Structure 1
Amino acid sequence: MVWKTLGAVFAAAVLSGSLQIAVAQESQESQSFTQYLDSLKSDAKAQGIDSTTLDSVVAKIKPFKRAVFADKAPSEPKSSLETYLPHVVPEWKVEKARSLFKTHRAELEAIGSKYGVQPRFILALWGIIADFGTDSGHLPLFSVLASSAYEGEREAFFKEQFFAALAILERDSIDFDALKGSWTGTIGQTQFTPSQYLKFAQDGDGDGKRDIWNNTQDIFASLAYYLQQAGWQGDGTWGRQVQIPKTFDTSLASLGVKKTFSQWSSLGVTRFDGSKLPAREDMQISLILPDGEKGRKYLIYDNYRALLKWQESDYFAISVTYLSERIKYPAIK
């Protein structure tokens, strides 16, 4: 994602207790913001956005001041995966995921078959990035994007998203008031940026709409399509936890180093239970040590790399895959 360093878990924590947004008072600053809106409007016209749309949108935008205090945000233990995973994927979330899998099994299986993504991964991704829909954003999107661009930090990015949001209004006829998002500018239960919405949002139930705020079939289809486009392989899995010998050369633990199972076996890598790795030569896989050689070790496959395109974080990818494994085992009847 464009804004990969802000994971959905942190965003949820900030939104729940630490984000303070207040309408700015009439002042020289707000007048300057009005002037900035005029420049945004001119730039949008140059990109072909309809004047009627622009007039309607700009008239409703209000300046917002964001005050995000990281030191006041709920702490997110990242000392190791041993503390992080129970925090991000507690037992209640596992139980909820398994219950939702049963509820949505038919639509998940249909969408998974269409896009070539196993249902458990679609559901796990949804659970991690949006807490199964409870974190979909409630802020007026255009005001957030325009104010963020005006603040100057990452102005080009927020301007791009502002123009993309305008394109959403025109293409999908979504009302201004319905375009709600998070303080980072992501939208819906897929946590897409507006530009990602234009590229990846899908009509999962064939009703002619792409409702990533309320329609689970559209949400599942959009997440599955994203993973498909990221290179997901529906006939494979993500990786496995392994063990390495004490004499192992840890410089080989890198996404940039790829070897076959046989090659890793020859270096002493085994399954987590100590048994031999699969005897196959058709995969190029990497070894990662997210917490160093004293922490967990994983051999990871191409599907894991697809998750990293969503967010470049081993902790994020492993949280999704961990939840997917808890959905899979024991089998849901």
Structure 2
Amino acid sequence: MKTPSYFSGSARYGLVLALLAIFGLVGCATAPSIVGVKPIQVGSEAVEHHQKFAHWVAEFSTSARAAGMDEDTLHMAFDNVRFVPRVIELDRSQPEFTRTVADYLDNALSTQRMTRGQAKLRELRPVLEPIAVRYGVPAEILVAIWGMESNYGSFVGDIPTIDALATLGFEGRREAWARGQLLAALKILQHHDIDRDQMIGSWAGAMGQTQFLPSNYLAYAVDADGDGRRDIWGSVSDVMASTANFLASSGWQANQPWGQEVRLPPGFDYARAEDAVRQPTTQWTAEGVQSMDGRPLPVLADSSILLPASARGPAFLVGPNFRAILRYNNSSSYALAVSLLAQQLSGGPAVQAPWPRDLQLLSRSQLLALQSALNVRGFDTGTPDGMMGPATQRGVRQYQRSLGLPADGYPTLELLQRLQ
């Protein structure tokens, strides 16, 4: 195997020794282990995997050099880069997409998280208030995101960002995205905003106390404490201002609520409960949508109805600020958790309508079977892939209508069994 061109001197010598060890040429019966990988036998498929990973890193380094990365940065990033199998495992089991929204919210809105959040709000008011005024984002929203992302800074992740993104890029499911984020991470290193050893975060490459992707760091991170560094790992001021700047740049509307829980009228057309159907709250009111306490709905010019747990669960009226949170993390469960946590931190109510606790998410294989069965019946869901998207939701709605059921677009085990 040819040694990648960006290795030289002692780094190249170390790599050569490592490769010799892999092939058993320095008296080792097995190759050295990497993070999360057991020692591998000479000649095994794992050896070939390691070779391919090294080749991918070398190829990426060439493209990064062409994009302006200097040799010192490439050495810093890749001399000891490692493939992390745990990253791939976590990528395939994200809690926002593998747990029901009720289960997800039970954890997100725990008593401990609420209590700590209230304490942090009191403690950090002098820091938070000027930031809230400057960006128009309430302190409770900033603290809620902080609580969701790192439990108020107590855990920012333990995976080196370079390793995580190189692993995702090599694995290939989202290679183009991972390559873009990895190049952004190199720019952060080259700018000396953070050392490689301190650039740690989640399996997805998100960094700091509110988990910024590298590209978002470059675009939105703020040096609020004036020390010359945009430190989202250690400076609470920088963390909060950066998070507020991201939301304000993503369409956050000052002095507007994220939305609220609502009661839908009898005979409501559940097919209209989707993001594509947006209208003023005055129109929803005219159609019989009401707040839970009977007060007028908030004034939102561009609002939609959200049913996170089918027609059987709670309903929410959501507006532009909810969609801004979705740009932070494109999961309705996450955005709802942040919104409800902030609402309760500011003294607002918890969700009042009961969650359908017996409702189960379909596994990927079950959703794949559902999509295939719907296609066969003429309810087009696109190419079956086991992932829930707009096309699948439309197909489910059409099938529900054909059965005279509420067309909420929610895939259930009962629907799958009927199709089979």
TM-score (ref. length: structure 1):
0.84
- Which shows bigger deviation, 221-230 or 173-182? 173-182
Matches within 5 A, 1:27-66: 27-66=47-86
Aligned residue identity for 1:68: E
Secondary structure of residue in 1 paired with 2:85: strand
1:68 counterpart = 2:89? yes
Secondary structure of residue in 2 paired with 1:242: strand
Secondary structure of residue in 2 paired with 1:240: strand
Give unpaired runs (5+ residues) of structure 1. Answer: 1-19
- Following superposition, the deviation at residue 107 of structure 1 comes to 0.6
1:175 counterpart = 2:195? yes
User: Equivalent of 2:329, from 307, 311, 324?
Assistant: 311
* Structure-2 residue corresponding to 1:162: 182
Determine if contact 1:24/1:65 at 8 Å carries over to the other structure.
Answer: no
Determine if contact 2:156/2:201 at 8 Å carries over to the other structure.
Answer: yes
* Structure-1 residue corresponding to 2:225: 205
| C-alpha distance in structure 2 between counterparts of 1:230 and 1:268, whole Å | 31
* Structure-1 residue corresponding to 2:316: 298
Determine if contact 1:77/1:84 at 8 Å carries over to the other structure.
Answer: no
- Residues 155 and 239 (structure 1), Cα distance of their counterparts in 2 relative to 1, 3 Å cut: same
1:189 counterpart = 2:209? yes
- Which shows bigger deviation, 294-303 or 64-73? 64-73
* Structure-2 residue corresponding to 1:21: 36
The structure with the greater share of residues assigned to strand is 1
Determine if contact 2:36/2:84 at 8 Å carries over to the other structure.
Answer: yes
Secondary structure of residue in 2 paired with 1:22: coil
| C-alpha distance in structure 1 between counterparts of 2:322 and 2:90, whole Å | 32
Secondary structure of residue in 1 paired with 2:216: helix
| C-alpha distance in structure 1 between counterparts of 2:79 and 2:133, whole Å | 44
| C-alpha distance in structure 1 between counterparts of 2:279 and 2:286, whole Å | 11
- Following superposition, the deviation at residue 304 of structure 1 comes to 1.0
Secondary structure of residue in 2 paired with 1:133: coil
- Which shows bigger deviation, 194-203 or 23-32? 23-32
Question: Which digits, 9 at most, give the CA deviation of each residue in 1:72-110, with x for residues without a partner?
Answer: 9999984453x4423221111111100000111111111
* Structure-2 residue corresponding to 1:9: none
Give unpaired runs (5+ residues) of structure 2. Answer: 1-34, 349-420
Tell me which structure has the larger Cα radius of gyration. Answer: 2
* Structure-2 residue corresponding to 1:289: 307
Question: Which digits, 9 at most, give the CA deviation of each residue in 1:38-79, with x for residues without a partner?
Answer: 212211111011123223332232343336279999999844
| C-alpha distance in structure 1 between counterparts of 2:92 and 2:56, whole Å | 31
Determine if contact 1:231/1:306 at 8 Å carries over to the other structure.
Answer: yes
Secondary structure of residue in 2 paired with 1:298: strand
Determine if contact 1:145/1:159 at 8 Å carries over to the other structure.
Answer: yes
User: Equivalent of 2:242, from 197, 209, 222?
Assistant: 222
Matches within 5 A, 1:99-178: 99-178=119-198
Secondary structure of residue in 2 paired with 1:106: helix
Aligned residue identity for 1:298: F
- Residues 234 and 63 (structure 1), Cα distance of their counterparts in 2 relative to 1, 3 Å cut: same
- Following superposition, the deviation at residue 125 of structure 1 comes to 1.2
| C-alpha distance in structure 1 between counterparts of 2:97 and 2:122, whole Å | 30
Determine if contact 1:63/1:147 at 8 Å carries over to the other structure.
Answer: yes
| C-alpha distance in structure 1 between counterparts of 2:308 and 2:255, whole Å | 26
User: Equivalent of 1:321, from 326, 339, 362?
Assistant: 339
CA RMSD of superposed structures (Å): 2.7
Determine if contact 1:24/1:64 at 8 Å carries over to the other structure.
Answer: no
| C-alpha distance in structure 2 between counterparts of 1:185 and 1:70, whole Å | 11
- Following superposition, the deviation at residue 34 of structure 1 comes to 2.6
Question: Which digits, 9 at most, give the CA deviation of each residue in 1:248-273, with x for residues without a partner?
Answer: 22222222222223322221111112
TM-score (ref. length: structure 2):
0.67
1:85 counterpart = 2:100? no
- Following superposition, the deviation at residue 238 of structure 1 comes to 0.8
Secondary structure of residue in 2 paired with 1:39: helix
- Following superposition, the deviation at residue 119 of structure 1 comes to 0.7
Question: Which digits, 9 at most, give the CA deviation of each residue in 1:284-314, with x for residues without a partner?
Answer: 3222222222211111121111111122222
Aligned residue identity for 1:284: D
Equivalenced residue count is: 309
| C-alpha distance in structure 1 between counterparts of 2:204 and 2:100, whole Å | 25
| C-alpha distance in structure 2 between counterparts of 1:108 and 1:200, whole Å | 17
Determine if contact 1:80/1:295 at 8 Å carries over to the other structure.
Answer: no
| C-alpha distance in structure 1 between counterparts of 2:232 and 2:83, whole Å | 26
- Following superposition, the deviation at residue 183 of structure 1 comes to 1.7
Determine if contact 1:76/1:87 at 8 Å carries over to the other structure.
Answer: no
Aligned residue identity for 1:38: A
| C-alpha distance in structure 1 between counterparts of 2:48 and 2:342, whole Å | 52
| C-alpha distance in structure 1 between counterparts of 2:79 and 2:137, whole Å | 42
1:270 counterpart = 2:290? yes
- Residues 173 and 260 (structure 1), Cα distance of their counterparts in 2 relative to 1, 3 Å cut: closer
Determine if contact 2:279/2:303 at 8 Å carries over to the other structure.
Answer: yes
| C-alpha distance in structure 1 between counterparts of 2:62 and 2:290, whole Å | 61
Aligned residue identity for 2:220: F
